Amino acid sequence: MNQHTVSSRSTHRSDADETAHTKRAEQRTYLWGFGLALILTLIPFGLVAFGSLSAGTIYIVIGACAILQVVVHFRFFLHITLARNKREDLQLILFTVLILTIMVGGTLWILFNLYYRMMPDMLP
């Protein structure tokens, strides 16, 4: 608590210029995020609408753009960076990703194996 009062006083002492500077920097962060997300949205939509690539190539481009855009959203909009001082947050996200990988990967593996052996009609 004591520490907090000291640091809040030091925040008040810092001049308004610095606040305006960090505000502009954070606004730029959102603008960068929006711009990158826009490009990563337009590429796959453009390819599907006007492109004449093979289906396999298009799927790879869509997947790559989607993963990159998720990273952009987490980095620029949700402010999840690698620099963090609370480990349990990182553990929370990593554990969720682990569970998701096991459950989604397992579901797809088991069911497509089943389709391959028992119901070839269900294979897309």
Q: Which is nearer to another protein, 2 or 85 (CB)?
A: 85
- Contact residues for another protein (CB under 8 A)? 4, 7-8, 11-12, 19, 22-23, 25-27, 30, 33-34, 37-38, 41, 44-45, 47-49, 55, 58-59, 62-63, 65-66, 69-70, 73-74, 77-80, 83-86, 88-89, 92-93, 96, 99-100, 103-104, 107-108, 111-112, 115, 121-124
d(CA 32, CA 76): 8
d(CA 101, CA 95): 10
d(CA 72, CA 36): 7
Q: Which is nearer to another protein, 2 or 55 (CB)?
A: 55
In whole angstroms, the minimum distance from the beta carbon of 117 to another protein comes to 14
**Number of neighbouring beta carbons within 10 Å of residue 58:** 15
In whole angstroms, the minimum distance from the beta carbon of 81 to another protein comes to 9
- Which amino acid type is present at position 29? T
Q: Are 25 and 76 in contact (CB under 8 A)?
A: no
